[in-house]
Amino acid sequence: MQTVFQRSYIVVAMSFLVIVSVFLTGCPKKVSPIGKVKSPQTQHNGAPSTDTERFGGDLTSLQEEDMPFQNRDNLFDLPPVESGSKPGEPPVLNDIFFDYGQWHVRSDNLPILRKNASWLAANESKKVEIEGHADKRGTNEYNLVLAEKRASAVQEYLVQFGVPSSKILVISYGEERPFCTKEDEACFQENRRAHFNVK
Amino acid sequence: MMWFLKIFFVIVVLSLQMPPLYAADIFLGTSKKRFDKIPIGIVSFQVTTPAHTASSSPKQPVELNDVLTIESVLNADLIRSQLFRVIPLDQGDKNGLDLSKEPGKAVMDWAKNKGVLAIAWAKLYPIADKWVMESYAYEANEWKSIIRVRMTSDTVRPLAHRFSDKLIYHFTGEKGLAETKIAYASDRGGTREVYLMDYDGENKIRLTSAPYMILPPRWSFDATQVGYTFYNHGVSDVYLVNLATSQRRKVFSSSRLSFPPVWSPTGDRVAFASTKDGNSEVYTMHPDGTHLKRLTSHHAADLSPTWSSTGNEIAFTSDRGGTPQIYVMDADGGNTRRLTHSGDYNTSASWSPQGDWIAYTCRNGGGFLKLCAISVDGRQQVEITTQGAWDDESPSWAPNGREIVFTSNRFGKSQIYVIRPDGTGLTRLTSDEGKNTSPVWAPR
């Protein structure tokens, strides 16, 4: 009985060793052919007997290439800047308003921005501060960044509309300087704005 | 190879015996419910007036209020630690004991009868313009003295805090919170300024006097400095103030927004968000303002960095997926991955000092901001606050990971509260007429 047990133990142990040796010896062999396929020398030396030939050459045919980004100027089909108010007239820069959580200028606000840009173009000596504001919902830090993105988006449009960027200053007040302090949507909308200060 | 297979086999067997991950208790650094708290008795503190100082001290006459304050502060500190159960001496106990001197055998016998493990006692007297407290603590069973320390302070509250932290350290080996501070922003004086307060909301000190808008403060890794930003007409000036010397120095300046620096736990680097390159990105630099490095590069906003406890990773807020979510990246800016996936508004992450959880501001179904936490592997998520038509925001962990300080407008104006990570133990720290926001707990 003992010898049978010992024998079967040896059989199990040996078969285990065989499996292990397959693992151990198998690994390095696997690595080298992959290395060969990737090396450019074997790809282009014309040797027909390599395994990769069966797959029609390079295993990884997918390649990528960066394309130049389209210039944003071409994305805007802008009408020419109208001749707005005459120099010396009091500033009539209207504020614009944003959707909840958004910083993109709504298309219905573009005419207002065009008008603002026209006035600034006509009054070359004037500078403008764009104040970004957010409603009280949301966290302080995120709202500071969000409000600045709003002001910054407005700045981009003004520049597109011909106002030199050197005349524009972007400021964020986040949720810190609300125009309205009631707790309703009408009030929140009042506070999601870009406000213009002419200097 | 053999040992590898053996270990693999052991792991497989063990994992079969373990309950599924989601069935595991979520243990968020607070004491377990049936944790056996240490019963401690506070024996009435004594006030004495040493003869040689009686005529010279401006603290005369010694006020009973100061003694009562010290006792009640110690009492509150020990209870808030969740490690102690304070056993009161009722009037009957007091009548039978001589409490005018250091506790003797009678007090120890009382303690043993009541099942009290530890006794705290102190003697308070003024010297010149300071308070001196001789603090004593004993293990009742063996009548063994465990703390005998003489402390001196201008005011009495720090004495009680120090005593509490010594007791906590003796019995648990853990550093207490009682001497830690919280920095925050408040407009209680009219303009919005940076303030400090003790961890219990007392002892408020104004740090700034800014003619401009100020951005929320941050602590240095060793709690010796506080950083803040003056934001004046689109220009950010980032300052550090040394709390010991009150010296201020400007470490960074930029057009657009630059938030105050967040120190790595080792203190060798700071991370901060700035919109100086167009939109908000996360940067690191050395604390002196040199070696500036940009970590994120994305047209979406990346902000509010918080370091892992090892300093190897940084969690931050980004709206690159359309809504603000919490992301984690390596401290060199590589290997960015999104951590939060539920909800459409997850911001202002705070990585726990123990490293296992990240608390953040989330938004519930009703559109109100609440506090959430997620395990660093993303597998477990908990809502710390859930109900109510108000906003809870800006979580910041206590250095021991047992409490979170945050802002809430649940009773009108924004005030500062603490809560345990399991949602219990809500305590209000500020209640003045100002708007108090953006609390950050000092490291130890």
**What residues of chain B have any CB closer than 8 angstroms to a CB in chain A?**
1-2, 5, 192, 213, 215-216, 231, 233-234, 256-257, 259, 273, 275, 278-280, 301, 303-304, 317, 323-324, 345, 347-348, 361, 367, 369, 391, 393-394, 437-438
Residue A26 scores a pLDDT above 50: no
pLDDT range class, residue B53, cuts 50, 70, 90 = very low
Say yes or no for a CB contact (<8 Å) between A129 and B233.
yes
Average pLDDT over residues B54-72: 66
In terms of average pLDDT, the best of A50-64, B87-101, B346-360 is B346-360
Query: Chains A, B: CB contacts under 8 A, how many?
Result: 71
Say yes or no for a CB contact (<8 Å) between A20 and B304.
no
Q: How many CB atoms lie within 10 A of CB B179?
A: 16
| CB nearest to A144's CB, from B257, B279, B393 | B257
In a 13 Å sphere around the CA of B332, the CA atoms on its Cβ side amount to: 2
What residues in A contact B416, CB-CB < 8 Å?
A: none
Domain regions of chain B by residue span: 38-172, 181-441
* A141/B contact by beta carbon, under 8 A: yes
How are strands ordered across the β-sheet holding B427-428? B392-397, B404-408, B415-419, B427-428
Average pLDDT over residues B223-241: 95
Q: How far is B421 from chain A (nearest CA, A)?
A: 20
Say yes or no for a CB contact (<8 Å) between A20 and B275.
no
Stronger pLDDT, B191 or B88, i.e. the higher one: B191
What residues in B contact A169, CB-CB < 8 Å?
A: 233-234
Give per-residue pLDDT as tens, B201-220: 999 999 999 878 899 999 99
- Do the Cβ atoms of B208 and B217 come closer than 8 Å? no
Q: How far is A52 from chain B (nearest CA, A)?
A: 31
pLDDT range class, residue B224, cuts 50, 70, 90 = very high
* A20/B contact by beta carbon, under 8 A: yes
pLDDT of residue A5: 52
Least confident of A37-46, A132-141, B360-369, B423-432: A37-46
Q: What percent of chain B has pLDDT over 70?
A: 88
Biggest alpha carbon distance in chain A? 115
Say yes or no for a CB contact (<8 Å) between A141 and B369.
no
Residue A7 scores a pLDDT above 60: no
Give the residue on B whose Cα is nearest the Cα of A143: B347
Say yes or no for a CB contact (<8 Å) between A140 and B437.
yes
Q: How many CB atoms lie within 10 A of CB B101?
A: 9
Chain A (71-100) residues lying within 8 Å, Cβ to Cβ, of chain B: none
Stronger pLDDT, B186 or A28, i.e. the higher one: B186
Least confident of B50-59, B171-180, B261-270, B304-313: B50-59
In terms of average pLDDT, the best of A7-16, A141-150, B106-115 is A141-150
Q: What's the 3-state SS for B116-151?
A: CCEEEEEEEEEECCEEEEEEEEEECCCCEEEEEEEE
Q: How far is B393 from chain A (nearest CA, A)?
A: 7
Best probe of the B interface among A16, A141, A159, A185, by most B CBs < 10 A, is A141
What residues in B contact A171, CB-CB < 8 Å?
A: 233-234
Least confident of A61-75, A168-182, B82-96: A61-75
pLDDT of residue A116: 94
CA angle A134, B362, B237 (to 5 degrees): 50
The mean predicted confidence, pLDDT, of chain A is 73
* A110/B contact by beta carbon, under 8 A: no
Listed residue (B357, B379, B368) closest to B407, CA to CA: B368
pLDDT of residue A6: 57
Average pLDDT over residues B87-109: 77
Q: What's the 3-state SS for chain B?
A: CHHHHHHHHHHHHHHHHCCCHHHCCCCCCCCCCCCCCEEEEECCCEECCCHHHCCCCCCCCCCHHHHHHHHHHHHHHHHHCCCEEEECCCHHHHHHCCCCCCCCHHHHHHHHHHCCCEEEEEEEEEECCEEEEEEEEEECCCCEEEEEEEEEECCCHHHHHHHHHHHHHHHHCCCCCCCCEEEEEECCCCCCEEEEEECCCCCCEECCCCCCEEEEEEECCCCCEEEEEEEECCEEEEEEEECCCCCEEEEEEEECCECCCEECCCCCCEEEEECCCCCCEEEEECCCCCCCEECCCCCCCEEEEEECCCCCEEEEEECCCCCCEEEEEECCCCCCEECCCCCCCCEEEEECCCCCEEEEEEECCCCCEEEEEEECCCCCEEECCCCCCCCEEEEEECCCCCCEEEEECCCCCCEEEEECCCCCCCEECCCCCCCEEEEEECCC
Class of domain B181-441: mainly beta
- 10 Å CB burial of residue A111 (0-12, 13-18, 19+) is exposed
pLDDT of residue A45: 42
Give per-residue pLDDT as tens, A27-79: 433 333 333 333 334 344 444 433 433 444 445 557 677 766 554 444 444 44
pLDDT of residue B88: 80
Q: State the DSSP code for A199.
A: -
Least confident of A8-12, B215-219, B395-399, B427-431: A8-12
Stronger pLDDT, A22 or B341, i.e. the higher one: B341
Give the residue on B whose Cα is nearest the Cα of A24: B1
* A173/B contact by beta carbon, under 8 A: yes
Listed residue (B181, B136, B176) closest to B40, CA to CA: B136
Say yes or no for a CB contact (<8 Å) between B215 and A144.
yes
pLDDT of residue B126: 87
User: In CATH, what is the architecture of A91-198?
Assistant: 2-Layer Sandwich (3.30)
The mean predicted confidence, pLDDT, of chain B is 88
- For the domain made up of B38-172, give the CATH fold: Rossmann fold (3.40.50)
Stronger pLDDT, B265 or A41, i.e. the higher one: B265
pLDDT of residue A68: 66
H helix or E strand, kind and range, residue A169: strand A168-172
Average pLDDT over residues B69-78: 94
Average pLDDT over residues A11-26: 52
pLDDT of residue B273: 98
Residue A156 scores a pLDDT above 80: yes
Residue B184 scores a pLDDT above 60: yes
What residues in B contact A23, CB-CB < 8 Å?
A: 1
pLDDT range class, residue B7, cuts 50, 70, 90 = low
Kindly state the tokens that stand for B385.
């606050």
What residues in B contact A137, CB-CB < 8 Å?
A: 367, 369, 391
Instruction: Give CA–CA dist A36/A52, Å, rounded.
Output: 9
Give per-residue pLDDT as tens, B128-142: 888 899 999 999 888
How are strands ordered across the β-sheet holding B205-206? B205-206, B193-198, B181-186, B436-441
Instruction: Give CA–CA dist B33/B262, Å, rounded.
Output: 34
Q: How far is B291 from chain A (nearest CA, A)?
A: 24
What residues in A contact B280, CB-CB < 8 Å?
A: 145, 148-149
Say yes or no for a CB contact (<8 Å) between A137 and B367.
yes
* A152/B contact by beta carbon, under 8 A: yes
Domain regions of chain A by residue span: 2-55, 91-198
Say yes or no for a CB contact (<8 Å) between A152 and B279.
yes
Q: State the DSSP code for A138.
A: S
* A144/B contact by beta carbon, under 8 A: yes
pLDDT of residue A12: 56
Least confident of A45-59, B299-313, B318-332: A45-59
